[in-house]
Amino acid sequence: MTNIIDKAAMALSAGLMLLGLIGMGILEILVGAPYSPAPITNEAGEVVATPLISPQIRTGIVLAGVAVLGLYAAYKIVTPLAADAAAGRETMAD
């Protein structure tokens, strides 16, 4: 059971972080200029170009991946190891 949870947590967190960093970055490059995360304005203050994907969305996806890793770490701390659960402790009787 834990092997499935291990693989799922790693795949989900890696997928979210790769999507937020690399996937959306490549998409921004393919769409073309501007490469700036902030809207570009002209001298009059009008917005002339905006990024395709908001930086808040990209950051949220990456942070979701980090949160999955954090939850996985908490799960691994709370659950006992299978070897420790199977091993019994014996004490000498008086």
User: What are the Cα distances from residue 59, in Å, to 21, 46, 66, 73?
Assistant: 9, 26, 11, 21
Confidence of residue 72 (pLDDT cuts 50, 70, 90): very high
- Whether 64 is in a domain gets the answer yes
- Whether 84 is in a domain gets the answer no
Q: Which helix (H) or strand (E) holds 41?
A: strand 40-41
| Distance in angstroms between the alpha carbons of the first and the last residue of the chain | 40
Query: Domain containing 24: what range?
Result: 2-39+50-79
What tokens were used for 3?
């092997």
In this model, does residue 11 exceed pLDDT 90? yes
- Whether 16 is in a domain gets the answer yes
Read off the pTM: 0.74
- Whether 54 is in a domain gets the answer yes
- Whether 92 is in a domain gets the answer no
- Whether 20 is in a domain gets the answer yes
- Whether 34 is in a domain gets the answer yes
User: 6-29 burial string, b = 16+ CB within 10 Å, else e?
Assistant: eeebeeebeebbebbeebbeeebe
Domains: count for the chain: 1
- Whether 88 is in a domain gets the answer no
